[in-house]
Amino acid sequence: MVEQKLRVTLITGRTIDQGVAKELGKGSQEYFDNVAVCFLDSSDIKRLGLKNGMNVQVTSPYGSIVVKAKKYPYGTLSGMVFMPCGLWANAICSDATDSIGMPTFRGFTVEVEPAPDKPVLTLDELLKQEFGK
């Protein structure tokens, strides 16, 4: 049965493709393709009625962002989604540091839902929308 929303734990981190793309340039197509994404378990992709590369909206208590859904390539990712470090993941992270300087980058609950009609913003569009520059 196709579900409307998924409540999962967000994990952020490095991927080799993100590493290569950031060195090619933050404004490069490679960076956009490899960082504005959310990796889901194949079972979760089925549950949401998605296909690889379709847009999803990831919402946390701190913000909401539209990115491309991708199947997680290694093993199972049950109860979790994974987003590469970068502007898109940070749009939904919290600046709460537990008083030690480290913001909350991972390990909190997010909702993932299909967003076929909403666009994935490019780096410049996102900077304009979030910071007005």
Partner 1 sequence: MAEIFKSVVCPICGCLCDDLEATVENNEIVKMKNGCAVCEAKMVHGYKSDERILEPYIRKDGKLVPVSMDEAICKAAQILTDAKYPLLFGWTSSVSETQHVGVELAEELGGALDNCCSVCHGPSVMAIQEIGIPTATLGQIRHRADLIVYWACDPWSSHPRHVERYTAFTDGRFEKSEFKEYVQKLKAKASQKKVDAAIRRTQVRYQPSQPPKAAIVEAPPQSLAKAGRKMIVFDVRKTMTAEVADYFVQVEPNTDYEIFGALRCLVNDQELDIDKVGGVPVEYLKEIVDAMVNADFGAIFFGLGLTQSVGRFRNIEIAIAMTRDLNRKTKFVIAPMRGHFNVTGANTVFAWQTGYPFALDFSQGYPQYNPGEFTANDLLRRGDNDATLVISADPGAHFPKSSIQNMMKHPLITINPDWNAISRLGDVVFPTQWCGIEQAGTAYRMDSIPVTLKKIVEAPKGILADEEIVRRILEKVRDIKAQKNEKDIQGQQQILERKM
Residues near partner 1 (CB under 8 A):
9, 11-16, 18-28, 41-43, 62-63, 72, 74-80, 82, 85-87, 90-107, 123-124, 127, 130-133
In the complex, minimum distance from the CB of residue 69 to partner 1, in angstroms, rounded to a whole number: 16
In the complex, minimum distance from the CB of residue 94 to partner 1, in angstroms, rounded to a whole number: 6
Q: Which is nearer to partner 1, 73 or 116 (CB)?
A: 73
In the complex, minimum distance from the CB of residue 52 to partner 1, in angstroms, rounded to a whole number: 15
Q: CB–CB of 127/43 below 8 Å?
A: no
In the complex, minimum distance from the CB of residue 53 to partner 1, in angstroms, rounded to a whole number: 20
DSSP 119: P
**CA dihedral for 85, 89, 91, 96, sign (positive or negative):** negative
CB atoms < 10 A from the CB of 82, how many? 22
Q: CB–CB of 130/25 below 8 Å?
A: no
Q: Which is nearer to partner 1, 19 or 53 (CB)?
A: 19
CB atoms < 10 A from the CB of 99, how many? 6
